[in-house]
Structure 1
Amino acid sequence: MIADLREAARYLGYGSNPPDDRTMEEMIEITDELEASARGKWTYGSYDLEISEECITLSGTGIELRGRNIRRILANAKTAYIMACTIGPQAERIIQLKKLHSATSGMIADACASALVEGYADLCQKEIEGNLKPNQTLTFRFAPGYGDLPLSTNKMILEELKAEKRIGIHLTETMLMTPRKSIVAILGILDGDTNKGNDHYCGNESCDDCSLKDNCTSRRQGSAENE
């Protein structure tokens, strides 16, 4: 199974607690259906970083990464990967069909689809790791919209990766990605024993520093939640 059901349960609001047996059975059934129908696709590229006081620029592109959070993530990196990943439109069709059955089934399907696209993003990241030199590692996967990195950064990244042509991700005028279950992310490359920093996707030292701490979707079990 590509999707992590613990992640799906977290999206449903269970936190570190396991879902009841009935909910878990439905999660497994829906995830199996999603994995049989949805098709994970991804694309990525690596770029040297140009760092100024105003922003971080990906060399040879118009991509500007602005905000203190991404600056913290990439503080010790000279090169970075950008990536885009999707599970395609079929997942959304399944979610809508489940909603017609019941609101609860719809919510479960949505959570399982989110966990599935994260699973494919993990596979993409593993492929990227296969391109690294033996002494290199990656920073945490960081997405526009986390912390203070503007969501509009997605537009520049998707255009650079030609994501619409390659894997079918389209960005609406309101900066929403379609298919909805898609991910854009940035990963810095670290040399040697360079510390990748605190396990916070936003780059903050503590969740207490963040105005989004009460509804943050980037916190994961075993990292920021265990403060």
Structure 2
Amino acid sequence: MKIDQREVLRYLGYKGSEPDAEILHTIADCTRELEEAATPHHILQAVELSRPNADTLEFAGMVVHSRDLFQHLSGCDEAVLFAATLGAPVDLRLERCAKVSMSRAVVMQACAASLIESYCDECQEPIAQEAASRGLYLRPRYSPGYGDFDISYQREFLTVLDCPKRIGLTMTDSFMLAPSKSVTAVIGLTAEVQSCHIAKCMTCKAKSCPFRKD
């Protein structure tokens, strides 16, 4: 688990331009601070998928109405429900930084975004290896809030995985995760060969997203 400087620069909007020495120093400083503060945890659960109706999926007692998720998981008979968090100390560092320097806080937010993605990618590798032993491949992570996969499904997600008790992950009344640098996602398993199970951009409709990988 590490912060990727290239990813941080991409989050900060450096496309075709070179960052100055001050930005690079701030990134390095924020990287050290966040990697020291992080207390990462994750949890997962394998589930079988059923499709009672068009654009409807059932798994782990959940009934999800989402055309985008339905299409994303086409060819998948099973999936993994996944949740991960960097822990509350990272949020405390972000909040403290925002009170002192907004410019530094922007960089620290980008570093934290890179760190949680790196941790999720790391956690996925054992899942990919186990799937490969059965001739299966992973689809990219797909989270509540993507496309028409409504963010309100976050509540059932956390309940099914017992996230508050097991990894200290909760949510606000507006369905935002707490700690904020956390992820919940569905990871489909398919017999269809996949070129990449990490990058999500190939299935995301937000073509103008600043976090998009070209």
TM-score by length of 1: 0.84
* Structure 1 segments of 4+ aligned residues over 3 angstroms from their partners: 15-18, 192-197, 199-202
Aligned to 2:39: 39
Counterpart of 1:207? none
When residues 218 and 27 of structure 1 are mapped into structure 2, their CA distance, relative to the original with a 3 A threshold, is closer
Code of the residue aligned with 1:62 in structure 2: it is G
Checking the alignment, whether the CA contact within 8 Å between 1:76 and 1:194 is kept in structure 2 is no
- Whether the aligned pair in 2 keeps the contact of 1:70 and 1:202 (CA below 8 Å) is no
Number of the residue aligned with 2:180: 180
- For residues 64 and 202 of structure 2, the distance between their equivalents in structure 1, rounded to whole angstroms, comes to 13
1: distance between equivalents of 2:103 and 2:116?
A: 20
Deviates more, 1:109-118 or 1:1-10: 1-10
Q: Give 1 or 2: higher helix fraction.
A: 2
Mapped to 2, the partners of 1:218 and 1:143 lie a distance apart of 15
The answer to whether 1:70 aligns with 2:48 is: no
State the one-letter code of the partner of 1:117. Answer: I
Report the Cα offset of residue 16 of structure 1. 5.6
Aligned to 1:132: 131
1:69, 1:202 within 8 Å by CA — same for their partners in 2?
no
| Structure 1 residues 200 and 40, CA gap change in structure 2 (3 angstroms) | closer
Query: Quick one: which amino acid aligns to residue 92 of structure 1?
Result: D
Report the CA distance between 1:114 and its aligned residue.
Answer: 1.1
Aligned residues: 211
Q: Deviations over 1:3-31 (max 9, x none)?
A: 22222222222246443221111111111
**Tell me, what secondary structure is at the counterpart of 1:42?**
strand
Answering whether residue 81 of structure 2 is matched by residue 82 of structure 1, we say: yes
Is the Cα–Cα contact under 8 Å of residues 45 and 83 in structure 1 kept in the other structure?
A: yes
Counterpart mapping for 1:1-227 below 5 A: 2-15=2-15, 17-51=17-51, 52-58=53-59, 61-134=60-133, 135-191=135-191, 193=193, 200-201=200-201, 203=203, 210=205, 212-214=206-208, 216=209, 219=212, 221=213, 225=214
Q: Tell me the amino acid that sits aligned with residue 101 of structure 1.
A: V
Q: For structure 1, list consecutive stretches of 5 or more residues without a partner in the other structure.
A: 205-209
Unmatched runs of 5 consecutive residues or more in structure 2: none
Q: What is the aligned-residue RMSD (CA, Å)?
A: 2.2
TM-score by length of 2: 0.89
Deviation digits for residues 101-138 of structure 1, max 9, x if unmatched? 31100111111111111111111111222322432110
